[in-house]
Chains A and B, each alone.
Chain A
């Protein structure tokens, strides 16, 4: 395999070996500490335009499986690992990670001191990075000159509505860069789902007569989205049970007057203890966040904090006092990651059933 370089905005260069696509690519580099689930992480749209460095040293050891996609088309800009595994492919494991990244035109680089990289990024926060063939002045100039888009949601969210039929409650999912785990959990609960673009209006949503609305996960900074999204949330939250996750949670908080701050260091993994305020129970869940709700800016008359990250005190969940509307910053659907928080989906189903009232 060919020598390639991972170069960083701060001027550092790491020599490694290329795998996957031979393309040159630039994105924002973040590190993820999950022990398993590289396929789910690579295909999670929250990492749109980002380069993911895995701290788990061997990546690719169980190939790519048909039931572990979190989106149809991954849009990460690169995969950085210490070691990429060779495997036998068969009917169950159709592709190796190397083959898959080639197909998807995503470059990978192995033989990187990912521990050193993680220790650097935990201090600096994410920075621009490229995977290149030559680490010369030109490459660094190119990297410096690259302006990364802030229109990530528009790039990954569905432009058109699509259904995910079921026989139970009627749920509208607003797609900001939807993670399949959300659909999977709603499917398990027999929900009849319609996925709408994030540009959907209040009217379009209400017209579908949903029992509940889910604001999905997605990439980027919530402030970069149009105000119309916040207005839609304000109009919906007091009429229909609402459940917001990840980027959706940040938007839900903003719609209720809270401000969003940049988080440093970011959370990418599943090792943080998260306390459920009401029960004092501690759970673990997958996190992928570069932003957090500023606790100082929460209107306590409207919102209550339901979950807190015990490492840095960041807000991990909110609930509207007067309406069945609530949100979590982490990914309760796991995929990858612990299943401790799956019952939040049950809670959503219950709140929909209650709001629906008795069936005559």
Chain B
């Protein structure tokens, strides 16, 4: 039974998107929020991310768009008097905030119960040294590490743990990285530097485990102490590369049952000892030669690995976690009836392989170091799902949309032998090319495994891929070669390149020879039981499990990997499209390979295909579903055109995030919607250049709605011209009409599709989803039918403001690349106030980088 005392809970959102903070938190919140509401518990949700799907569409009973600060949350808690606080949904940034709430007695004074954890868990998370001691006390092996204040003390540590060691500065005054020291000389240099930049003149000397295998396990535990393993996963790259920057495979590929059970047991024991309720992610370093291991991190809050575990296994992790958080035990969890009754209690097993591949921002930010190390630099990731390691890897690489990854178009690299070896030892983003190059140059597998510390197993898989590609090239239009290539993850496009033919011809040849794709369900019992997760992946086997849906099917192409700049809001747009398509009685089907995407939330699409977006991949899905329409968003315009040429009805949503920054100050714009025949105004917005506020700020601020009477009148006068311009291309859509002041007169400057950020801003300010309005005019409805509930904008008493956030701290960007261009943004924050000044103060309070 659920915790009867709980009638209202507070969920704190993750805040703006960022490196390491994609949609995974919001995806968890949408599912957990709705599952908790189903238990009859009210959900209060606070976030300042305009792209939060959980903040719209009734995923919570009450939403506060407020800064995520101790003072603002204290007010909300005092006003709402929730019974409990769910601490695990907003990532690490929220843990610090909860620590503040506890220190200020906000939880105690308002009788708010900290759900899921003992109070001291907060300290354990915030202070790794405390966690390390706690783990040691539990008998778990942890890495030896010590704070030193002199060379002599450091020498003592080294004499105990031996080289190599890692040296880090304590409380560094500049962004200081970890130094790997192989010998005395390295150590002396690292210490000198470390002491110099440390505010306390101290360094941490730590035993190095660089080169070990990095293994991650996800467990789940209820309030009665029942616990189970969700899955184990294995990093392709060794310890030393941040696991978010590493290719990760689910399930583990190269560890024995003894090692696997050792990690399973350790994970469950740690959860038991720390009384964790809900999921927990434990990272291990495994010495491949001795089988000794270390616990390197315990993460009891939702993170990227949990999102991956849920997507990879098909286990309804978020829904079940919501029940556990509310005090329901694993044995009592009631799942929707597409799942088998005891699914919550069945330890997931997989009969497919999932590979997560990171995507880096380096094609946009070119002056940043591309070297991979212990600091996370990727902005997003994609999944490849298949029935072999090769297939999962090739599909994953394809889903990154970086065509250079294609084995088939992989040109020989020109760098010297010495440079190649350096690249193998010191990996850079996109290292897959270097590994393939080394294999092509005839490096031995065992030699490569030694150089890179990547298990030889993977090099056998890579050489197999090279072999298949070679066979394909040498046998044009050979059924066997094509069948084999497709069986291991190649596509029509790949074969077309190899055979110097066209994908259409290859596709025709494949169909004539009965090489058909088959779709299989991603479900957590490996075929032992009947589960309906409505989530599929393609492979080339005997049995196809995906049957065409009944009803009016619409395929929506998802946004793919989270990238810097232009697409961090795209996932919000796709999620909203799915939500409102379903509301309008369509059967929305999503194609998407982003594990952190909110659009993957089961409540949104009726069916999901975890597939890359290459044309042949998409055509395979379309052949099954035969949709009446296909929706594409900004990044898939080319794909949309190709599908249109093939005779499909494609609705292209071309709203994006702007690439370039507006340099002009205080530029007003009219935000409008058109059904192709008429135009209606949402309201007037304004852009304030960020440098109006501070000298060293990045980016600009959007304001909506503007209530300036004089300006409104001037704009009313321009209305006929606005209408004419918007209607000139006749396309229904939402547009931003920019105005400019020439000779003291307001003139019309440009008409462009409204940015997704603006759509989110207006949706939040008006309470009416702009995506829904856009969808309906795109579907051919008139403004009269669509705009019936859009509020009178003059009556909105608040002003909403919005600004971009940038990853300059994580990426250690220097100099002239810090421009504040929207193309470099990874997130957006929103705030509101009674006056513009109040709104800007709230915006500033809520921006964790304080440099909007």
B261 contacts partner chain A, Cβ-Cβ < 8 Å: yes
Give the residue of B261, B345, B520 whose beta carbon is less than 8 angstroms from that of A337.
B261
Contacts of A35 in B (CB 8 A): 232, 251-252, 260, 349-350
Rounded to whole Å, the gap between the CB of B308 and the closest CB of chain A is 16
Mask, B648-667, CB within 8 Å of A = 1, is 00000000000000000000
Q: A58-B253, A265-B528, A271-B348 are in contact. Are A310 and B258 (CB under 8 A)?
A: no
A82 contacts partner chain B, Cβ-Cβ < 8 Å: yes
Contacts of A337 in B (CB 8 A): 257, 261
Q: Are A271 and B525 in contact (CB under 8 A)?
A: yes
Give the residue of A65, A113, A115, A275 whose beta carbon is less than 8 angstroms from that of B526.
A115
Q: Are A111 and B487 in contact (CB under 8 A)?
A: yes
Mask, A6-35, CB within 8 Å of B = 1, is 000000001000000000000000010111
Q: How large is the interface on B (under 10, 10 to 19, 20 to 34, 35 or more residues)?
A: 35 or more
> How far is it, in angstroms, between the C-alpha of A231 and the C-alpha of B342 when the chains are bound?
39
Contacts of B543 in A (CB 8 A): 113, 115-116, 119
Binds A, one of B98-106, B126-134, B456-464, B578-586: B456-464
> How far is it, in angstroms, between the C-alpha of A39 and the C-alpha of B528 when the chains are bound?
21
Q: Which residue of B lies closest to A92 (CB)?
A: B289
A86 contacts partner chain B, Cβ-Cβ < 8 Å: yes
Contacts of A332 in B (CB 8 A): none
> How far is it, in angstroms, between the C-alpha of A14 and the C-alpha of B541 when the chains are bound?
11
> How far is it, in angstroms, between the C-alpha of A280 and the C-alpha of B222 when the chains are bound?
13
Q: Are A14 and B542 in contact (CB under 8 A)?
A: yes
Give the residue of A33, A37, A88, A336 whose beta carbon is less than 8 angstroms from that of B525.
A33
Q: Are B351 and A118 in contact (CB under 8 A)?
A: yes
Q: A67-B258, A87-B460, A116-B541 are in contact. Are A36 and B346 (CB under 8 A)?
A: no
A324 contacts partner chain B, Cβ-Cβ < 8 Å: no
Contacts of B232 in A (CB 8 A): 35
> How far is it, in angstroms, between the C-alpha of A30 and the C-alpha of B445 when the chains are bound?
35
Q: A55-B351, A57-B388 are in contact. Are A273 and B527 (CB under 8 A)?
A: no
Q: Are B527 and A122 in contact (CB under 8 A)?
A: yes
Q: A87-B460, A269-B528, A271-B347 are in contact. Are A61 and B254 (CB under 8 A)?
A: yes
> How far is it, in angstroms, between the C-alpha of A37 and the C-alpha of B445 when the chains are bound?
25
Q: Are A273 and B257 in contact (CB under 8 A)?
A: no
Q: Which residue of B lies closest to A110 (CB)?
A: B388
Q: Are A36 and B260 in contact (CB under 8 A)?
A: yes
Give the residue of A61, A114, A271 whose beta carbon is less than 8 angstroms from that of B253.
A61
B473 contacts partner chain A, Cβ-Cβ < 8 Å: no
Contacts of A116 in B (CB 8 A): 541-543
A158 contacts partner chain B, Cβ-Cβ < 8 Å: no
Contacts of B331 in A (CB 8 A): 273, 275, 282, 310
Rounded to whole Å, the gap between the CB of B576 and the closest CB of chain A is 34
A234 contacts partner chain B, Cβ-Cβ < 8 Å: no
Q: Are B389 and A58 in contact (CB under 8 A)?
A: yes
A219 contacts partner chain B, Cβ-Cβ < 8 Å: no
> How far is it, in angstroms, between the C-alpha of A14 and the C-alpha of B232 when the chains are bound?
31
Rounded to whole Å, the gap between the CB of A288 and the closest CB of chain B is 14
Q: A85-B460, A273-B346 are in contact. Are A118 and B528 (CB under 8 A)?
A: yes
Q: Are B342 and A310 in contact (CB under 8 A)?
A: yes
B292 contacts partner chain A, Cβ-Cβ < 8 Å: no
Q: Are A36 and B387 in contact (CB under 8 A)?
A: no
Contacts of A56 in B (CB 8 A): 251, 349-351, 526
B352 contacts partner chain A, Cβ-Cβ < 8 Å: yes
A149 contacts partner chain B, Cβ-Cβ < 8 Å: no
Rounded to whole Å, the gap between the CB of B679 and the closest CB of chain A is 54
Q: Are B542 and A122 in contact (CB under 8 A)?
A: no
Contacts of A175 in B (CB 8 A): none
Contacts of A33 in B (CB 8 A): 349, 351, 525-528
A281 contacts partner chain B, Cβ-Cβ < 8 Å: yes
Contacts of B349 in A (CB 8 A): 33-35, 55-56, 269, 271
> How far is it, in angstroms, between the C-alpha of A350 and the C-alpha of B351 when the chains are bound?
40
> How far is it, in angstroms, between the C-alpha of A61 and the C-alpha of B346 when the chains are bound?
25
Contacts of A241 in B (CB 8 A): none
Tell me the A316-360 residues at the B interface (CB within 8 Å).
334-339
Rounded to whole Å, the gap between the CB of B624 and the closest CB of chain A is 17
B498 contacts partner chain A, Cβ-Cβ < 8 Å: no
Tell me the A95-146 residues at the B interface (CB within 8 Å).
111, 113-116, 118-119, 122
Q: Are B457 and A310 in contact (CB under 8 A)?
A: no
B413 contacts partner chain A, Cβ-Cβ < 8 Å: no
Q: Are B257 and A284 in contact (CB under 8 A)?
A: no
Q: Are A311 and B342 in contact (CB under 8 A)?
A: yes
Mask, A258-279, CB within 8 Å of B = 1, is 0000000100011111010000
B228 contacts partner chain A, Cβ-Cβ < 8 Å: yes
Rounded to whole Å, the gap between the CB of A275 and the closest CB of chain B is 8
Chain A to chain B contacts (Cβ below 8 Å), 24 pairs:
A35-B252, A56-B350, A57-B388, A58-B389, A62-B254, A67-B258, A83-B388, A83-B389, A85-B461, A86-B464, A115-B520, A115-B527, A116-B542, A118-B351, A118-B526, A118-B528, A265-B528, A275-B331, A280-B224, A310-B345, A311-B346, A336-B261, A338-B229, A339-B265
Q: Which 6 A-B pairs have the closest CB atoms?
A: A37-B257, A336-B257, A116-B543, A118-B527, A113-B542, A273-B345
B residues with a Cβ closer than 8 A to A are 224-226, 228-229, 232, 251-258, 260-261, 264-265, 330-331, 342, 345-353, 387-389, 445-446, 449, 456-457, 460-461, 464, 487, 520, 525-529, 541-543
A residues with a Cβ closer than 8 A to B are 14, 31, 33-37, 39-40, 55-58, 61-62, 65, 67-68, 82-83, 85-88, 111, 113-116, 118-119, 122, 265, 269-273, 275, 280-282, 284, 310-311, 334-339
Other A-B pairs, 18, CB within 8 Å; known A58-B388, A115-B527, A275-B331: A33-B527, A33-B528, A35-B251, A36-B256, A40-B257, A55-B528, A57-B351, A83-B387, A85-B389, A87-B456, A115-B543, A118-B526, A122-B528, A271-B346, A271-B347, A273-B346, A334-B261, A336-B261
